[in-house]
């Protein structure tokens, strides 16, 4: 483990004015809080926070971030509290540690819907202070470096999560070195045979050709010396995962891959960058279509560089990146360069982006899209590279690689996209699914009366275009949603002995801030609003009367006066089922069904188990359970299903389709129940319906507390 004085020395290498006393106090406090805790490897747990802090010093980050790394697990895993950290280290550090704690609790590799909501929370946390995600990335990197001590199943789960989420997020933030290492560490876990095969082929190639990197580096230096240009030249073989991905994308064998080596030339000025480019192109033949100028058109995370691929020694293709020293700092640290220190002061790097503006570019549509759309668009954003195209007037539009003229149209304005009928690229009419390339001029042709088509969803690649198309299609589907909403509203109103009259719905729409009853019904039918909310808006006294039957806040026996109660979402226990409680720090007691598989992980933590049982008597129908139903795709079937549930005096609080086939629909319906008997009544009634092919209780074990 790194000694505190060694850690302070690492910080003072770039920030001589660092508050060494505060770092010492944080180091001592973290060691005290984690005393007696061990990692899976058998090492003291505190070795992990110290290693994370050391990783962050490589990015030259400020004292608050380094201290947060030392304390990032204290709130979650020790008796330390937010108030303790505020008193000892100030509001800034306490906020950062609390942010990292909340991120740690997010199950980002959950099911799609839960994952989408957790991604939204991730980006909200990032928008408050991006340093939170920098600490989390450092935490994940060290965990991946020491992953061998985990169980095989846990290794695979962490590696997949890293490959799908944290590696592309690091890349999107401009921290390419971290992305590559996270990818390669994950690749080592997920496909060790493929990685070992590539490593063996590399060794064979080196024996056959010698040290190619050293030779080509020498060639480039020789040409620069002849041109009297001062610059540093670095070369390396690309990471195994990068090579594997290229083999998969291009369906090539290793022997047919050419550009498996990369070189960087770091110089003093932008003018030198272009001079170096000229020298390289004079000496070696440029490969057509492999030139990118990110100096004149930087990426939105601040990345600037010239990329070119040339046929080097023995005809081997090599990629060369050319940039200045300041640009290189941003290329290494990405968005984190905003916090970098040099000689005790915040580095004034002109190329470092404002983190607030960068995160705003990712979260600008946060409140406009539903969860699934948001997840899809975030992943598109994280994995995208960029192309730069021009309007006929010469304005530059930045698009992700793979974008089409239809994406371009929506990037200009939603109205332009909705009315697009065709496009011209460099004056030539092309299909709307054509992939755009750097430097092309795009002319969008529109027509009055044109509306988005459902097939456009598969043509476009940008989140903005997909969201606009879906919004337009929803408007066209409004009639169908209104009809479904009428059935849902009728069932919900019948549940409380009321009628869903036009006047009642109009009044509810006004109370909920909606345009009219048609808008209200459309939202019910599209599952944007639960029917229960409409009933409660009009008849709060009925809802209150139901709640008073049994106090829904204290429906179980066995809790102390200061313990809070929460049903586990993984098993959704209801009155009448055997239950047990598990204590969680800061969450009170979470109640599980006694047969819930999630309880297995607590078998050796008997001190956390609480013996509970439900209150006797009549419970209010406030216990939501999920039913998974497969029904025939025929007119009126869904309406009859909703009617059956309503006839059993149960409220449908949510409804979502999970699969649509020409002859069958699969959907999940959330129903509010009194108890297990009520559940059996509903399932029996639905099973008797001829158009119901299958029904079961939907339990999502990924939804943990």
Positions marked catalytic: 76-77
Instruction: Please name the residue that has the structure tokens 């009126």.
Output: 636
- The two beta strands, 588-593 and 565-567, are parallel
> Helix 112-128 vs helix 91-105: angle between axes, to the nearest 10 degrees?
170
Residue 399, both tokens: 């698009």
- The SS3 call for residue 135 is helix
Residue 665: strand pairing partners: 631, 660
Indicate if the alpha-carbon torsion angle 361, 363, 369, 372 is positive or negative.
Answer: positive
Q: What angle do CA 376, 380, 381 make, to 5 degrees?
A: 120
From residue 382, alpha-carbon distances to 135, 300, 302 in Å are: 19, 12, 15
d(C-alpha 76, C-alpha 100), whole Å: 10
CA dihedral 246, 251, 257, 263 (to 10 degrees): -20
Contact at 8 Å (CB) between 484 and 520?
no
Q: What are phi and psi of 133, to 5 degrees?
A: -75, -25
**Polymer length of the chain:** 705
Residue 35, both tokens: 């005393």
In 181-244, DSSP assigns E strands to 232-237
d(C-alpha 366, C-alpha 127), whole Å: 11
In the chain the first and final C-alpha atoms are separated, in Å, by 33
Residue 164, both tokens: 């799908």
d(C-alpha 337, C-alpha 358), whole Å: 13
d(C-alpha 572, C-alpha 672), whole Å: 11
d(C-alpha 71, C-alpha 39), whole Å: 16
d(C-alpha 340, C-alpha 333), whole Å: 8
Q: For the purposes of burial, counting CB atoms within 10 Å of the CB of 596, is it exposed (0-12), middle (13-18) or buried (19 or more)?
A: buried
> Helix 20-33 vs helix 82-89: angle between axes, to the nearest 10 degrees?
150
Closest CA to 160 of 106, 109, 121, 113: 109
Q: What are phi and psi of 352, to 5 degrees?
A: -70, 130
Residue 683, both tokens: 């399932």
d(C-alpha 141, C-alpha 266), whole Å: 27
- The two beta strands, 664-673 and 623-632, are antiparallel
**Please, how many CA atoms are within 13 Å of residue 418, restricted to the half-sphere of its CB?**
15
Indicate if the alpha-carbon torsion angle 49, 53, 55, 56 is positive or negative.
Answer: positive
d(C-alpha 668, C-alpha 572), whole Å: 14
Residues 6+ apart with CB under 8 A from 574: 623, 625, 673, 674, 675, 676, 678, 679
Q: What are phi and psi of 609, to 5 degrees?
A: -85, 140
């Amino acid at each position: 483990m790194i000694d505190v004085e060694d850690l302070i020395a690492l910080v003072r290498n770039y920030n001589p004015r660092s508050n060494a006393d505060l770092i010492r106090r944080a180091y001592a406090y973290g060691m005290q809080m984690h005393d007696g805790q061990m990692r899976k490897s058998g090492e003291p747990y505190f070795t992990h926070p110290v290693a994370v802090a050391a990783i962050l010093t490589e990015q030259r980050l400020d004292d608050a971030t380094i201290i947060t790394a030392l304390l990032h697990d204290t709130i979650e895993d020790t008796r330390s509290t937010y108030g303790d950290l505020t008193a000892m280290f100030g509001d800034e550090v306490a906020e950062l540690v609390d942010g990292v704690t909340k991120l740690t609790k997010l199950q980002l590799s959950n099911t799609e819907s839960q994952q989408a909501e957790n991604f939204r929370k991730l980006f909200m946390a990032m928008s408050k202070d991006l340093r939170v995600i920098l600490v989390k990335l450092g935490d994940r990197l060290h965990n991946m470096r020491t992953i061998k001590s985990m169980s095989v199943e846990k290794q695979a789960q962490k590696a997949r999560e890293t490959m799908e989420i944290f590696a592309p997020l690091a890349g999107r933030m401009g921290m390419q070195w971290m992305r590559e290492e996270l990818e390669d560490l994950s690749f080592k876990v997920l496909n060790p045979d493929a990685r070992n095969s590539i490593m063996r082929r590399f060794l064979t190639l080196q024996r056959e050709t010698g040290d190619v990197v050293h030779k080509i580096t020498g060639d480039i230096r020789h040409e620069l010396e002849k041109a009297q240009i001062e610059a540093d030249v670095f070369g390396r073989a690309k990471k195994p995962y990068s090579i594997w991905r290229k083999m998969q994308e291009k369906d090539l064998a290793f022997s047919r891959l050419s550009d498996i080596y990369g070189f960087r030339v770091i110089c003093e000025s932008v003018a030198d960058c272009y001079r170096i480019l000229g020298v390289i192109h004079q000496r070696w033949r440029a490969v057509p279509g492999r030139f990118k100028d990110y100096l004149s058109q930087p990426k939105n995370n601040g990345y600037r560089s010239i990329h070119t691929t040339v046929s080097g020694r023995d005809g081997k293709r090599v990629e060369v990146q050319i940039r200045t020293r300041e640009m290189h700092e941003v290329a290494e640290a990405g968005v984190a360069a905003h916090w970098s220190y040099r000689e005790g002061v915040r580095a004034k790097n002109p190329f470092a982006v404002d983190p607030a503006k960068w995160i705003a570019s990712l979260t600008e549509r946060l409140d406009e899209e539903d969860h699934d759309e948001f997840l899809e668009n975030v992943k598109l954003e994280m994995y995208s590279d960029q192309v730069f195209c021009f309007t006929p007037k010469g304005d530059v539009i930045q698009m992700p690689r793979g974008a089409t003229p239809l994406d371009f149209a929506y990037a200009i304005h939603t109205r332009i996209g909705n009315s697009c009928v065709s496009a011209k690229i460099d004056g030539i009419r092309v299909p709307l699914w054509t992939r755009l390339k750097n430097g092309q001029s795009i002319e969008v042709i529109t027509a009055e009366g044109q509306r988005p088509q459902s097939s456009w969803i598969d043509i476009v690649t940008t989140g903005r275009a997909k969201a606009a198309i879906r919004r337009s299609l929803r408007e066209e589907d409004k009639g169908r949603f209104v009809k479904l909403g009428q059935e849902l509203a009728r069932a919900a109103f019948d549940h409380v002995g009321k009628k869903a009259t036009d006047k009642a719905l109009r009044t509810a729409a006004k109370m909920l801030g909606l345009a009219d009853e048609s808008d209200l019904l459309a939202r019910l039918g599209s599952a944007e609003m639960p029917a229960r909310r409409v009933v409660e808006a009009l008849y709060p006294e009925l809802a209150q009367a139901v709640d008073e039957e049994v106090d829904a806040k204290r429906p179980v026996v066995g809790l102390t006066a200061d313990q809070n109660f929460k049903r586990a979402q993984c098993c959704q226990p209801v009155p009448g089922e055997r239950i047990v409680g598990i204590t969680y720090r800061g969450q009170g007691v979470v109640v599980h069904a006694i047969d819930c598989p999630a309880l297995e992980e607590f078998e050796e933590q008997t001190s956390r188990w609480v013996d509970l049982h439900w209150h006797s008597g009549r419970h209010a129908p406030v216990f939501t359970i999920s039913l998974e139903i497969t029904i025939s795709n025929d007119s009126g079937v869904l309406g009859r299903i909703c009617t059956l549930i309503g006839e059993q005096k149960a409220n449908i609080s949510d409804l979502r389709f999970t699969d649509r086939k020409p002859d069958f629909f699969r959907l999940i319906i959330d129903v509010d129940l009194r108890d297990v008997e009520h559940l059996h009544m509903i399932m029996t009634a639905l099973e008797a319906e001829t158009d119901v092919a299958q029904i079961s209780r939907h339990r999502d074990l990924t939804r943990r507390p």
